[in-house]
Chains A and B, each alone.
Chain A
């Protein structure tokens, strides 16, 4: 069964006239890693918020179509219930620290206290989440004393502890330094390996190409294409959607190094094809 189904989704924020989501439809299977790309204002964040139910339940506004998670229509559910199925990580690590907890350990407990979990189960889940994200050693620190990358991993731990099957990350590394970004990408890949369905909005195309099973290309509130990274990045009209393909793909496009019509999108594949190309000539 499809994990997430989006059908003819349309949306306008309150007091605005523009459709930020304009007739969007696609399906996501369980355990897939989906990258969402497109220029600023394409509707990527709004689409993420629509899968969590924040659109329309939190923002209100004008809404049409359906989003189904495990067959349940999010607009007719409530955000707390959906949060047990779909978690979301935002750009700014600071805004995701609740601010009401004095230690990293208690911070992870925030969502679990809200859903009314018993103490034993809570502690088990917190230990597991902190270990998975590699921040168990900071458990007694004040959340605000962490570095950006650590804080963002704490945000992910807070979500993981809720045990959702889907995690959406909306540009999770845009405010982090290179080291912090690497920490977060590694954590995300670990989640994918555990069978969690991942949806990630990201401007670092090398990462999207490396991780994604499928890539959703958006422009002006519409889905332009939804396909494998090779097919998406082999398109010749990416510029007009404000997307620049990974560096390896760009180089191979320049030399027209391709295999059955598709350019390579990862370093390994590009090397392989360049070697073959050299032997051939």
Chain B
């Protein structure tokens, strides 16, 4: 089956309406994780689903718009982390397009890859904004220990972000993968078709 190029930037209406849904799902994930007092954020389920359904460009756009809207309506700092959300969207989009997310185990591995990418992108922002911290108790605890032991700032900051991201992104991708598998064909086909009409 010949697929559309994964980097196609001609947005179909179907993929555009996926974005608000993705942002809403991110928000719901974060809320339920909070209500259940889970030790994870789970706030990028929608972004990952958008990437898996409609590719890296729509995934990245979902991530960016997610943070812009948070920034406008809740916490302005979230604007700068749009870069991180974009990176997660692109990473998962590529991994899904290459067919690498095919069972729970591979979802865990791909989640870890996404966590690394997220940490690489977030670290400079964390250093510029917060002197290297993330605001997460476990991560910042590790950060304090490393800084006290005279580790370079960027290593301390990178590990601060990474210890939090690995379990979170792995768990998020597992959840997204299970939901993705349960979606009806009439929906997934909307994004997965050749962009031309066949003559009967």
Give the B interface residue count (CB, 8 A). Answer: 17
Q: Which residue of chain B is the closest to A98 with respect to CB atoms? A: B17
Give the A interface residue count (CB, 8 A). Answer: 19
In the bound complex, CA of A16 to CA of B196 (Å): 15
In the complex the two chains form, is A10's CB within 8 Å of B186's CB?
no
In the bound complex, CA of A13 to CA of B1 (Å): 15
Q: Tell me the dominant secondary structure on chain A's binding face.
A: mixed
Q: Which residue of chain B is the closest to A21 with respect to CB atoms? A: B200
In the complex the two chains form, is A15's CB within 8 Å of B193's CB?
yes
The 8 A CB mask of B87-106 against A (1 = contact, 0 = none) is 00000000000000000000
- Asked if A158 is an interface residue, CB under 8 A from chain B, the answer is no
Distance (Å) between the CB of A50 and the closest chain B CB? 12
In the complex the two chains form, is A62's CB within 8 Å of B189's CB?
no
In the complex the two chains form, is B200's CB within 8 Å of A62's CB?
yes
Q: Which residues of B contact A12 (CB under 8 A)?
A: 200
* Interface window among A52-60, A141-149, A178-186, A254-262: A52-60
Q: Which residue of chain B is the closest to A19 with respect to CB atoms? A: B200
- Asked if A168 is an interface residue, CB under 8 A from chain B, the answer is no
Residues of B within 8 A of A (CB): 1, 13-14, 20, 185-186, 189-190, 192-200
Q: A63-B197, A64-B199 are in contact. List 19 more A-B contacts (CB 8 A).
A: A13-B186, A13-B189, A14-B189, A14-B193, A15-B1, A15-B185, A15-B193, A16-B189, A56-B197, A58-B13, A60-B193, A60-B196, A61-B193, A61-B197, A61-B198, A62-B199, A62-B200, A64-B200, A75-B197
Contacts A/B (CB < 8 Å), 23 sampled: A10-B200, A11-B200, A14-B189, A14-B193, A14-B194, A15-B1, A15-B185, A15-B189, A15-B193, A56-B197, A58-B13, A59-B190, A60-B195, A60-B197, A61-B193, A61-B197, A61-B198, A62-B199, A62-B200, A63-B198, A64-B200, A65-B200, A99-B20
